[in-house]
Amino acid sequence: MIEFKGVNKYYGDFQVLKDINLSINKGEVVVIIGPSGSGKSTMLRCINHLETITEGELTINGTLVADKKTDINKLRRNIGMVFQHFHLYPHKTVLENITLAPKKVLGKSENEAKETARYYLDKVGIAEKADAYPSQLSGGQQQRVAIARGLAMNPEVMLFDEPTSALDPEMIGEVLDVMKALAKEGMTMVVVTHEMGFAKEVADRIVFIDQGQILEEATPAEFYANPREERAKLFLSRILNH
Amino acid sequence: MDFIGAYAPDHLTFLLKGFWVTLKVAFISIILSFIIGAIVGTLRYAAIPIVSRVLAVVVETIRNLPLLLIIFFTYFALPEIGINLEITYAAIAALTVFESAMLSEVIRSGLKSIEKGQIEAARSSGLTYVQTLQHIVMPQALKRMVPPIVSQFISLLKDTSLAVVIALPDLMHNGQIIYAQKDSYIIPIFLIVAIMYFIVNYCLSQIARRLEVKRA
Ligand SMILES: Nc1ncnc2c1ncn2[C@@H]1O[C@H](COP(=O)(O)OP(=O)(O)OP(=O)(O)O)[C@@H](O)[C@H]1O
Ligand SMILES: [Mg+2]
């Protein structure tokens, strides 16, 4: 359902993405890994048009993301996004954070939106925090709210950009558990993360990217046991040895 | 110093009349410049191709002119091109033009202070640019803008006194008329004029503090 065809992206003279070809099917969980600055976030952010591709074709269910005729707001309803730093709205309660888009974008009624919000809050395990403000929550709780906020739009795909790297170690597990459950329910997920446990357990595919290029695509079992690319080997030895 | 003579009942009534003019001119200018400043500040923030560029030039020009010059201009220069404003309206027009430019800058930088991540979170959930501005950027920015906006209001109120140059019968002007009669009135009149300015401005800043605490 997500299809990159010969996608290039430049920042000025600097080429961030080089001839990206990747296709992600419905229900697949794809983990993107690679060194810092390799273009992982950029690639993810192109999918919901937070960044614009320079060349090539990027389609979602056949719709060109970067086309002028595409209603990007409509496309985005269908793509949830979770950020490294959560980006919850600090002036709104947890419940309001989750109900905003369903009300304003999908036109749901207050009650309907609240009901959905509570359902997903329960699902991510923090039903009791509905009326709290984000500043009253721990990092792990905030990230779970962010996931619930994404899910409340009932999207077809969820994008995650290093969802656990801003968290204290003891909170990583609670967020990963929510994501694993989601993966097992069949959600299509594109996840930038270095969490190997997560990748091994639920990823269908690992995409290794370095300097804007996809160097390797493999199943987690293959990739972690026996990476083909020299640079992937080097990268793995680095993340494993610290 | 002649306090008793200076504070004679008809002097006080005269001062209060001036005070009333000051408050009236300041109040109307505050309302107008807040509305105009909010519109201009938002348009500039939104980076609308030509509009924002033109507004930037206008705002920067006004901000870099002395208010006194703008006051002179509205009263003495505008009649030359056929626009005759009564003193009060000339003062309101001058203050509104100047303070709108100042406030638009406060509002623009308040909007700009909201993190990009907030906007990205909202946009990626399908909210339009305008909805994002309305529900995410503006409410948060407003909270941060209350103190600088109120201090701009306070300086507007004080700046009304500059309109003495076009003989606006405000507090400052009426004070001058009284102490011009007798040198021994000068200090008592300055004192009471200062107290009057201080009281309103102090009230304004207290209201601002309340607002801040409440919204925090
Ligand atoms: N707005 C921008 N302007 C110019 N260069 C940028 C911009 N955003 C990102 N870059 C550059 O593009 C490259 C890829 O950035 P990106 O954020 O996609 O990397 P990443 O793989 O997500 O890295 P990290 O693991 O640190 O998050 C980096 O070299 C970065 O400096
Ligand atoms: Mg990144």
What is the residue extent of each domain of chain B?
3-215
Spatial distance between the Cα atoms of A232 and B110, rounded to a whole number of angstroms: 45
pLDDT reported for residue A242: 59
Can you tell me the distance from the alpha carbon of A127 to that of A136, in angstroms, rounded to the nearest whole number? 14
pLDDT of residue B216: 55
A41 lines ligand 1 (CB under 6 A): yes
Tell me the C-alpha distance between B10 and B23, whole Å: 20
Kindly state the average pLDDT of the residues A9-35. 96
E strands, chain A, in order: 2-11, 14-24, 29-33, 55-60, 63-64, 79-82, 157-161, 188-192, 205-210, 213-218
Within chain B, which residues score under 50 in pLDDT?
A: none
Q: Which CATH superfamily is domain A1-72+174-241 in?
A: P-loop containing nucleotide triphosphate hydrolases (3.40.50.300)
pLDDT of residue B207: 86
Instruction: Tell me which residues of chain A, numbers 145 to 164, contact chain B at a CB-CB cutoff of 8 Å.
Output: 146, 149-150, 153
Whether residue B128 and residue A150 make contact (CB cut-off 8 A), yes or no, is no
Cβ neighbours, 10 Å, residue B77: 12
Torsion of CA A211, A216, A188, A101, to 10 degrees: 0
How confident is the model at residue B209, as a pLDDT? 83
Give B-chain residues touching A100 at CB under 8 angstroms: 122, 125, 127, 135
How do residues A58-75 score in pLDDT, each as one tens digit?
999 999 999 999 999 999
Compute the distance from residue B93 Cα to the ligand 1 centre, in Å. Answer: 49
- β-bridge pairing A2-11 and A14-24: antiparallel
What residue type is assigned to position A5 of the chain? K
What local confidence, expressed as pLDDT, does residue B47 receive? 85
- Residue A128 pLDDT: 95
3-class DSSP assignment, residue B33: helix
Report the residue from A85, A91, A105 with minimal CB separation from B125. Answer: A105
Quick one: pLDDT at residue B109? Answer: 95
Query: Tell me, what amino acid is at B46?
Result: A
Domain ranges of chain A: 1-72+174-241, 79-154
| pTM across the whole model | 0.89
β-sheet bridge partners, residue A159: A81, A190
For an interface test with A, which of B119, B125, B128, B133 has the most A Cβ atoms less than 10 Å from its Cβ? B125
Two structure tokens written together for A114: 């609240």
Contact B128 A73 (CB under 8 A): yes
Long-range CB contacts for residues B45-53, cutoff 8 Å, separation at least 24: B45/B107, B45/B108, B45/B111, B45/B112, B46/B129, B46/B133
Question: What residue owns the CA closest to ligand 1's atom 25?
Answer: A36
The gap from C-alpha A88 to its chain's centroid, in whole angstroms, comes to 15
> Mean of the pLDDT values across residues A127-139?
96
Is B3-215 CATH 1.10.1020.10?
no
pLDDT at A234 over 80: yes
DSSP character string of A58-116: EEETTEETT-TTS-HHHHHHTEEEE-TT----TTS-HHHHHHHHHHHTT---HHHHHHH
Mutate to test the interface with A, among B116, B124, B140, B146 (most CBs of A within 10 A): B124
A-chain residue closest to B116, CA distance: A87
DSSP letter (8 states) at residue B137:
I
How many Cα atoms within 13 Å fall on the side-chain side of residue A217? 11
Nearest-CA distance B159 → chain A (Å):
35
